[in-house]
Amino acid sequence: LGIKFDASGTAQGYHVYRQNPGEIFFQGESVLIPASDMIHVYSEDRPGQIRGVPIMAPVILRLYDLDTFEQAELQKQEVASLFAGFRKKTPDVPGGGEGPDNQGAVRDRLEPGTIEVLDEGEDIVFSNPPQRSGYAEYVRQNLMAVAAGVGLTYEAVSGDYGRITFLNGRLGQLRFHRKIDQWQWFMLIPQLCRRVAEWFREGAAIAGQDMSSLAIGWQPPVKPMVDPEKEIRSTITQIRAGLKTQFEAIAEHGNDPVKFLDEYKAQIDAIDERKLVFVTDARKMSGAEQLQPSGGSGDREGEGRDPSEEENFREKYDSEE
């Protein structure tokens, strides 16, 4: 299968075509790339697996059948859109038989507003193509099977959100994100990202740079929130209950926790230096957007306000409210 192994079963190299097999002038020549210079990313679903299985493999036949069905449905609709009529003659009616008097009595094509006079014994019969119902439901059922086969949600595959409730959408998104997490942490990061990091260290060493003490971490893209207010409240509850750390919560939002805290400290220092108070400052404002008492738990140690300054600020804040 294009992979070279040694006697112990370790991959030594990969045979790669010099040209795309789809090229017109494909020569069929390949070159052996050492395994150390190749990153082979695939989902390892069983021991001893040496190549990946395309994600669409379990549903490819169903997709082919769905495509065939849609092509047949398209042809049926094209035939149904043809407004065809048939000229019918009755031989036993006087003037209705074949003869020079009634040949060509009806035009070959009807135009808007046409009034046509038929000879005695002639009639026009229009085609009535068969109608088929259940097209949309058939397509939907097939797309649901395809989504289940690839481990995604029907909405993610089809883009159809017309029949989904918020709760069902939320449950489907959680299942979808779990699948994405598996691909990220068990395939892309260990097989691709870590190998790239190794190459980076090797390249730095060749350039004379010591990167042995460099710590490398991985942060997948931030997942969008469906209901930010409820999800943030849930995160706060988990942190207070000791089920999640502040660093974990910051990392989940795509930020480096240490860098984030440094920037946050610089921000609050600049705010305190200018003696400003924002409703978002949890140190001095309650959840109901009310000033907390001076020297309370919300103030940093040794940085309480002067009582007269606090009283003046309260009066000004209350008057503005």
State pLDDT tens for residues 148-178: 999 888 998 998 888 888 888 888 888 888 8
What count of other Cβ atoms lies within 10 Å of the Cβ of residue 270? 10
pLDDT of residue 296: 45
What pLDDT sits at residue 270?
95
Reported pTM: 0.64
Q: Please tell me the distance from the alpha carbon of residue 293 to that of residue 291, in angstroms, as a whole number.
A: 7
User: Which residues make beta-bridge pairs with 196?
Assistant: none
pLDDT band at residue 271 using 50, 70 and 90 as cut-offs: very high
Cα dist. 250→123, 239, 268 in Å? 80, 11, 17
Run of H or E residues at 122:
strand 122-126
Q: What is the pLDDT of residues 178-226, one digit of tens each?
A: 889 999 999 999 999 999 999 999 999 999 998 888 888 888 888 888 7
What the block records as the tokens of 137 is 């439901």
Q: Output the average pLDDT for the chain.
A: 82
DSSP string, 245-269: -HHHHHHHTT--HHHHHHHHHHHHH
- Contact (CB, 8 A) for 85 and 126: yes
Q: In what order do the strands lie in the sheet with 30-34?
A: 3-5, 11-17, 30-34
Contact residues for 304 (Cβ-Cβ < 8 A; gap 6+) = 294, 295
Helix, coil or strand: residue 170: helix
Span 70-119, pLDDT tens digits: 999 888 888 777 766 666 777 665 555 454 444 444 556 667 666 667 77
Provide mean pLDDT across the span 124-152.
84
Decide: 145 and 65 in contact? Cβ < 8 Å: no
Question: Could you tell me the two tokens for 50?
Answer: 């040496």
